[in-house]
Chains A and B, each alone.
Chain A
């Protein structure tokens, strides 16, 4: 006879982290930021200014995008990256320009960082032919392959093997390039990640897999969807790993630089967990009932853009006025982009059939 327990049966998720008074708690801690100053990291004052401009551009671009979305200028999903700008910026500055980057649908920051102009980005959101993907991709599918940005992908975890494939081709061609593949914490629960990790390690692919752990997979706190610290997934594959503070651009830069060098030298995959936070809802339709205002405010206190700004001022690299000047310039760039997108044409109806194999038979057309 089977034994029966008296306990109530429940399939409530119980993952990492604690639950206090029924409130969702942080599942993980943010590692301390690097203590190194910019010179020790090999960053010039010009680099710092460029980093600041880039992060500020990402933020303003998305704030304006949100406004345009609310005005009904475009439809579809809009997943904002606000809060996570240090991850894209720190990484892009750490990599070579011809290293490959691929990411999920939260991709605007990545695209801008990899040379998609505000104009091309905004036009893509508006679905215009002047957009980086000719208006055919929208928010989730920014791409600029000439700059080795392979795009945003809409199926959670679907692009993880593709990141491995980019690395496979780089190794095959022995071109010295490495590939980096970014995804959210929710994606680590997909089988695709596990199959890809195993093969990457078997074949020693030159790739860095990076989970941007922003604490939430849609409405599910990381601690409710994953049973161990995410970075520990690397252990099962004997893969090198690291945890990084993603609210500090220097920390991201430092770690990604070191790791990229290691990958280039040894052709071995890494799994990196960059801990960060998203300030906005998962997408525009998310009421965000799953987290507290206090939690959000805690992270806003360590905002990556404010942090760099303070550094620039404290180290007398930029004055308040100079920062204001940069901000104004970028604000103008973004406003111009909105105007550019608004004034651009939609793709011609005939373009519906471009860019893929389509049956010639008119019965297969509209």
Chain B
């Protein structure tokens, strides 16, 4: 095991895959000469040159689409967005083209590529820079969506994403790039897409949390433990495909569930999990499923409003108290 920052774990995965397969290349704004806005691609230009590490103008729709075309024509692009908030400009290429080309051509086309970058809020950046998009993209057939919470997952899942023959959205968090964690140093370390992980065992309540919210859930669980409540935390790691059996098995054990999600409430990830649980495990529930999400309002700038807006451990504890009837 090696202790790596998020950015290093992601970089290692990209580096290993670029070394392994000539068809893999990376492009995006400031990825080459500037070494990446968040230094994920640091050093890659020196190693692979301007053929495979490519700076683009601020033309999200254009370069995402060039990635799609290149993927259709046999390459394996990694397209970096400075954040997924800017990928909205490229949504047409992702949603209308990358996800559908194979189906519409009766399987003649494949689009093996990764769109990656930070997702959701990064602290007081205002309304246009703070949206979580994992639920949104998961809504559309044909796209795989990953939102990682720990460097180890980042490494193993990034390698899997690059090798996948479908378009994969790989989401990170700007606030977590410097966060460290143990990363497997197993050779060619791959985590299969669609496999969640029990990150904390517990018997009283299941908390489903991914991405940045996993850390919020972990904090809440540590506090709840002092009160004698044992939380089981499941990190699905991939939003789509979803490891539903892992979640359902856990609920059969704990009989209670709180979903913590960084997106807005309506028609989001948390709503979907709530539905799936009532369909698969209704008889096992001792309380209605609760969710902790952002409110149905845009991100404010002011520090106090921003702190209130973003879900925190206290929100999770309140929800756990509700499902365990411990008010």
A contact set with B: CB distance below 8 Å: 8-13, 74-77, 127-129, 133, 135-138, 140-141, 153-158, 186-187, 189-192, 217-220, 224-226, 289-290, 346-347, 349, 351-353, 356, 358-359, 363-366
Given contacts A158-B128, A353-B297, A364-B295, 20 further A-B contacts (CB under 8 A): A75-B124, A77-B129, A127-B302, A127-B304, A128-B302, A135-B300, A136-B302, A138-B124, A154-B126, A189-B59, A219-B30, A219-B33, A289-B34, A346-B304, A347-B302, A347-B305, A349-B308, A352-B297, A358-B295, A365-B295
- What chain B residues lie within 8 Å of A218 (beta carbons)? 29-30, 34, 37
For the residues of A in contact with B, the DSSP-based class is: loop
- What chain B residues lie within 8 Å of A351 (beta carbons)? 305
A112 to B128: give the CA distance in the assembly, Å: 23
B20 in the interface (beta carbon within 8 A)? no
B55 in the interface (beta carbon within 8 A)? yes
- What chain A residues lie within 8 Å of B85 (beta carbons)? 155
> Is the Cβ of B265 less than 8 Å from the Cβ of A10?
no
> Is the Cβ of A347 less than 8 Å from the Cβ of B304?
yes
- Most chain B Cβ neighbours within 10 Å, of A8, A133, A218, A289: A218
Number of A-B contacts (CB under 8 A): 152
B62 in the interface (beta carbon within 8 A)? yes
Which one of B2-10, B46-54, B146-154, B240-248 contacts A?
A: B46-54
A189 to B61: give the CA distance in the assembly, Å: 10
- What chain A residues lie within 8 Å of B29 (beta carbons)? 218, 220
- A226 CB to closest chain B CB, in angstroms? 7
> Is the Cβ of B300 less than 8 Å from the Cβ of A352?
yes
B contact set with A: CB distance below 8 Å: 27, 29-30, 32-34, 37, 49-51, 54-55, 57-62, 85-86, 88-89, 123-129, 265-266, 295-298, 300-306, 308-309, 315
A136 touches which of B27, B89, B296, B300 (Cβ 8 Å): B300
A205 to B189: give the CA distance in the assembly, Å: 58
When C-beta atoms are compared, the residue in chain A nearest to B303 turns out to be A127
> Is the Cβ of B58 less than 8 Å from the Cβ of A189?
yes
- What chain A residues lie within 8 Å of B304 (beta carbons)? 127, 346-347, 349
A269 to B304: give the CA distance in the assembly, Å: 43
**5 pairs, CB–CB < 8 Å, chain A vs chain B:** A141-B126, A154-B129, A156-B86, A186-B57, A289-B34
